[in-house]
Structure 1
Amino acid sequence: MTNIAFFDTKPYDKVWFDHFSGEYQAEITYFESKLTHKTAPLAQGYEVVCAFVNDTIDEQVIEDLYQGGVRLLAMRCAGYNNIDFKAAFGKIHIVRVPAYSPYAVAEHAMALLLSLVRQTHHSYVRTREFNFSLNGLVGFDLHGKTIGVVGTGKIGRVFIDICKGFGMRVLAYDPYPNKSVPVDYCSFEELCSESDIISLHCPLTEESFHLINRESIAKMKEGVVLINTSRGALVDSQALLEGIRSKRIGGAALDVYEEEAELFYEDRSSTILDDDILMLLISMPNVLVTSHQAFLTKEALQNIALTTLKSVESYEKGDVMEHEICYQCDTCHNVTGQRCF
């Protein structure tokens, strides 16, 4: 039986992990608190820790986990920019869930886009107050519009297919173009200048940090709509706010936010937010924010649990872990079918 310390637990996390834990001989202890240097001691005596994208896994946390006996960190998400990989190398193996459901995220991106441009979220609020006026609810057709898709991985490709189904012209930018994808690739600058709508589907790297900034916004069409269901730090939030105020950006739909770690996934309805930028963004009538829920479907949650528990099982058996990652995966043994170290 493998003992797993599970951090940042929400009720929906337990459903499928509990369902499959017996099959994979896993005994899970759930902690509601996020993984930080203050909570890392809770993992004392556990060999496996399961964490999430907004947990703090820096050098101190890595060392605390290692000294407490942890040897595997299983991220139940695709993102991993919150981990100090150099500190973990040689001490703690790290696995992730690279693709739980590209359809979930891509479909949520389209749901955000449709809600924003057709103002269904405003209509919902109005009709609940018996206000049936249509004033101020004029939208626009997606058919015939040009949408720029940044990132053509699994999620980006699914989103491209959805957009084509709406009769949209699709442009794509990716530093590593996939020639098998039937889409018109272009430079990021061209994508900015020609797109009526821009949707982000790329990972957060040093190169993509604040990809959407004052300079790139200045190159965009006036009234452009921005969709972000990837990583919050792809967008400079201050620049976004300025772009909305100047009307260069006609609307924004965000499922992620660069300072979301202490906010998203929690009920903050009875508190005053310290983040002035987020408060101002949410107050804008042409901004729609959801709290990092694009992944949240039954199918995705099932895949997350299965993939994570399979990785833990592979670790316990001494097998190669298919989804192991490290800071030098381009050159480590992982590329030759061995563990990273």
Structure 2
Amino acid sequence: MTSLVEPPKPRPGDRVAIVSPSAGLPGLFPHVYELGLRRLRAEYGLEPVEYPTTRIMGADPRDRARDLTAAFADPTITAVLATVGGDDLITVTPHLDDEVLRANPKPYFGYSDNTNVLNHLHRLGVVSYHGGSVLVHLGRPGALHPLSADSLRAALFGSDWYDLTPAAQWGDEPNDWNDPASLAAEPVMFPGTGWRWQGPAKVVEGRTWGGNLEVLHWLLAADRVAPAATLAGSVFLLETSEELPPAVEVYRMLRNLGERGLLDGFPAALVGRAKAWEFGRRLTPPEKKAYAEDQRAAVTRAFAEYATDTVLVFDVDFGHTDPQLIIPYGGEVRVDAVRQRISVRY
């Protein structure tokens, strides 16, 4: 694997960029956005710096790329946080100034459609961070989730090993952002079930790569994924979105990664807890359980066909459910299937 640069970390009191390279949802939900900014100041001591397209829905991809490039170029900015995901960031990354990004590495935090940026930085040799959203996590109704808050703090300011912790409670039924009053009450949560381990009892250490599966599939179609030989040895990060892809499509997307020679190169895979509810698809508890089970079966089938020696860990709390643990992207991770522990180095 190509060597990667670990960007220097911010310190409390620093200025950090707030950008919307994907969807400009802060313009539609300013009450959620402003709550996230207040918490960024109060809880982390960081001063958010908003860029011109942050609150604009449908901004020109070139303008969004210009904002992101400017955030990396500004010597007074020490980290870059995406407000939320979306579905068209694949049109933005071609307009980034790669020389600027490579010459000014900074911690970038995002997930979902931000997989485009995470993968782009990875190919430039820069470590970034899967997770963190100004709207979804900093703007969480009621209060920050303790696991999300602690993980984000460690990722922002720390540089040591950090043990990930299974959530005692989790959720995937968010409050309605259209109702400002909904910010007063925490979202509904469910009892945690721990992680589910499959595969050989061994210890795997490596650097991470992956992200949202649907976006990875787009990147493969656009030929923006590094060769399989370059990614061999990576610990694969895999999670699905609020669009709730059916299990058969999850299998087919992974099968395509297998045919490309990618799956066989991953000694371990961390599979995010499947989000199984959305406002347009309000699945009942039995339906949610069946959806998650079907997805685990689809992932298991794909790896059984292409990578029989891979350690699989299901229901890890990263991705589109609550809480969200921050995972370094291109950073180091230790997956200990003997003691059933996962550690990352921020």
Same fold by TM-score greater than 0.5: no
| TM-score, length basis structure 2 | 0.33
Larger radius of gyration: 1
Higher RCO structure (Cα 8 Å, ≥6 apart): 2
